[in-house]
Amino acid sequence: ATVKTDVIDALHKGCVNHGVDLRIYLSPWDMNQGGKGVWPNDAYNAYFVGQLKELLGGKYGSIGEIWFDGACGGANCPYTFVPVAAYRTNMWYDTIEALQPMAVIRLYDGFDYADANRWTGIQNGTQKLQWRGKEIRWCGNENGSGRSDEWSVQPVYQRSWGPEQANPDLGQESNYSSAVGAVWYQSEVNTSIGNHWFWHSGDYALKNLGDLQALYYNTAGNNANLLLNLLVDNRGLIPDDQIALLKSWNNWIDSTFTINLAKGAKATATAEKTLPEATGHEADKIIDNKRHTYWTTNGSWNSATSTARVTFEMSTPQTFDHIMVKEYVYDGQRIAGWNAEYYDAGSSTWK
């Protein structure tokens, strides 16, 4: 049957009505075009850029992100695996940059940091490692978690992605000694709310609230973006049980993280940024609930030698089981490590 509704327009209007940022998933791995023999070659790249121009040209407003799927691989792939070299990925990124300059881009698998000639210059220090700065990377699985310790800044060792991407500590300060540079390259974790990516009426199961709580800690709680897939049924609607689960999840997030028990505490620091730029960086700015104020000290930090301490004194005893720590990333990633201690009055010691 012919679909007469512009589904992207309907989605765009729904996002506008509800204050939701519209983001687009588009798969370079196109089985339909593969079946027509238009994949992969120059004709397909022109076709794909045409799709990008249609989606991003302004008809559907501001697009916050473009997510490219990976190419088909594995035993269940109905077509031969398509090497990334067959695509013209820089043409795609340039098109996005021209039409939606504020959109973040999920880079396609196998992206090169530079061509061979430029890479030689980067290695010998005559050229800089350059980066668009808005790219995001796939976490490498669809299980709902990334590295145990996730960092936005990533060291670069070779021209293309290499085995170091599997390093669970990649991004920590100790891993930069042999890197040629670093890029701002945030992780995005994608997983489904159910047991499939698409609707299967005869085989349908949902995650439970405990699963989504763990998902929140492993993504938003671990410095990663979350892409949660919903299973639209054969009516074209999100089923009621998924909606109920999302509402329960939202209620848990609100009840857990909305109330700041440190609000009103007395905050003091062993070091603070001094004049002429001191205002807005005192210790109490950590808990003033303002987006663009924060505590910091003078000079540069080193995880081995920096020992500045902030102490919070509560006016009344509080019981809690969560600590949320955030960094002012508008100035880049600068925190290399931290720890939390509490004062045990019984033993007169910090633990």
Confidence of residue 289 (pLDDT cuts 50, 70, 90): confident
Is the pLDDT higher at 30 or at 319?
Answer: 319
Residue 36 predicted with pLDDT over 80: no
Full-model pTM: 0.86
- The pLDDT tens digits for 45-92 are 888 999 999 999 999 999 999 998 765 555 555 555 555 556 677 888
Is the pLDDT higher at 197 or at 90?
Answer: 197
State the pLDDT at residue 243: 98
State the pLDDT at residue 41: 76
- Residues 327-339 have a mean pLDDT of 83
State the pLDDT at residue 98: 95
Residue 17 predicted with pLDDT over 70: yes
- Residues 139-157 have a mean pLDDT of 88
Residue 193 to residues 84, 226, 340, Cα–Cα distance (Å): 29, 12, 33
- Residues 9-28 have a mean pLDDT of 93
What share of the chain in percent tops pLDDT 90? 42
- The pLDDT tens digits for 238-248 are 999 999 999 99
Is the pLDDT higher at 257 or at 107?
Answer: 257
Comparing 177-186, 204-213, 300-309, the range with the smallest average pLDDT is: 300-309
State the pLDDT at residue 62: 95
Do residues 186 and 207 touch, judged by C-beta distance below 8 A?
no
Residue 179 predicted with pLDDT over 60: yes
- The pLDDT tens digits for 264-287 are 899 999 988 876 666 778 999 999
State the pLDDT at residue 279: 74
Residue 4 predicted with pLDDT over 80: yes
Confidence of residue 195 (pLDDT cuts 50, 70, 90): very high
State the pLDDT at residue 139: 87
- The pLDDT tens digits for 102-126 are 999 987 755 567 778 888 999 998 9
